[in-house]
Amino acid sequence: MKKFNRAGLLAGGIAASLAFTACNQQPATNTEGGTSAAAPDSTQTSAAAMPTSSSFGKTNAGAEAQLFTLTNAHGVKATITNFGGTLTSLMVPDKDGKMGDVILGFDNVSGYQSPEFLKSGPYFGALIGRYGNRIKGGKFTLDGKEYTLAKNNGPNSLHGGKVGFDKVVWDAKPGSSADGQTLTLTYNSKDGEEGYPGNLAVTVVYTLTADDALRIDYTATTDKATPVNLTNHAYFNLNHGVGKDILGHEVTLPADRYTVVDATLIPTGELKPVKGTPFDFTTPHTIGERIGQVPGGYDHNWVLNNPSGMHAAATVYDAATGRTMEVTTTEPGIQFYTGNFLDGTLKGKGGTVYGKNSGFCLETQHFPDSPNQPSFPSTILKPGDTLKSTTIYKFGVRK
């Protein structure tokens, strides 16, 4: 079986050297100063005992949801439920060594299924598929056949449809590797599910590493050609433990262009330079510095520079806690979203109210509406090919 090579020329005459081949990349060392998959040291080996598990409550369909806790030797903890493959919490230290949860979410599975949550659709921490982000008009044509999807975001299809990967119970297998404790999640999406062709077999492996990184490895195969765009929809707030908004967080995005969108957040096809605009995060800026210049707030796809192998995608710093987060990925784009649609109706862990700008998302991905945009890197997975994609969120402190 050959690996899936998602090469594709970007719009606007971008050089062929930027043709994207991320999905055939094996986990690799990041040479841009972020995270690496280096050989384990003795600390890694001793820390990689099996994750623990507990009940997370029953789903609306009556299934038992499980919660798995991954821990490393530094006391960093990641909790993940098999309902939606959802990252529910991530405990990391601040500059004083105090542990705090940097993920928005709920104390049990019922929060992820409440009428308020389903209506507002924030997708807290969930695995997203079969297609992350939007597809225009809920339609695409593949091999001469038009496919119709659920329109669950105005006139468009969003994040896999009405019952995407975020709302199913995944098969879960806790384990350990040389890099740390792991949770392997598998799901078989049937031919025709949410309108997509092909039986799609998906495996996602979460690994909590010894150097305080959460690594997510995605693999998928299909028996019919189908669009696939897998990501995680975690909302981060590096100061979440004290209930602050994220406007003071400092963000850097190594991206000289972004995909311009229409009023329904569908790309027009134009890749616009960020220079001289509030979309320029090539040097650090706080989120709140220029957000008022962007109608509705940030909810756009940035075109990452040098998208080959494992490459830098984002850096975030919170001065109040000293926490830092570095994102590296094999994907060509990243959706930076600032929680614009959170309206205070959701109460999360410990009764925390999630209002506008309570969290931000950095969703590594292929570009929105790629099935209808032939100039974008292709998201079509074909029989006999294997999709492989990796994203790493590495945490640290700056004192």
Query: Catalytic residues, which ones?
Result: 233, 363
94 annotated ligand-binding residue: no
What distance in Å separates the CA atoms of residue 385 and residue 6, rounded to the nearest whole number? Answer: 10
196 annotated ligand-binding residue: no
130 annotated ligand-binding residue: no
256 DSSP assignment: S
Quick one: how far is CA 41 from the chain centroid? Answer: 28
Whether 368 contacts 301, CB under 8 Å: yes
191 annotated ligand-binding residue: no
Cβ-in-10-Å burial (0-12, 13-18, 19+) of 294 comes to middle
321 DSSP assignment: T
Half-sphere exposure at residue 261, Cβ-oriented, CA atoms within 13 angstroms: 25
Half-sphere exposure at residue 300, Cβ-oriented, CA atoms within 13 angstroms: 29
Secondary structure (3-state) at 124: coil
33 DSSP assignment: S
What distance in Å separates the CA atoms of residue 36 and residue 389, rounded to the nearest whole number? Answer: 15
Question: Which residues, at least 6 apart from 49, have a Cβ–Cβ distance to it below 8 Å?
Answer: 176, 181
201 annotated ligand-binding residue: no
31: tokens are: 């040479």
DSSP E strand boundaries for 125-227: 127-128, 134-135, 139-142, 145-148, 157-158, 171-177, 180-189, 200-209, 213-222, 226-227
* H-type alpha helices, the chain: 42-47, 115-120, 287-290
Amino acid identity of residue 11, one-letter, is A
Whether 261 contacts 271, CB under 8 Å: no
133 annotated ligand-binding residue: yes
Beta bridge partners of 362: 336
What distance in Å separates the CA atoms of residue 148 and residue 140, rounded to the nearest whole number? Answer: 7
Binding residues for beta-D-galactose: 133-134, 233-235, 299
Binding residues: 133-134, 233-235, 299
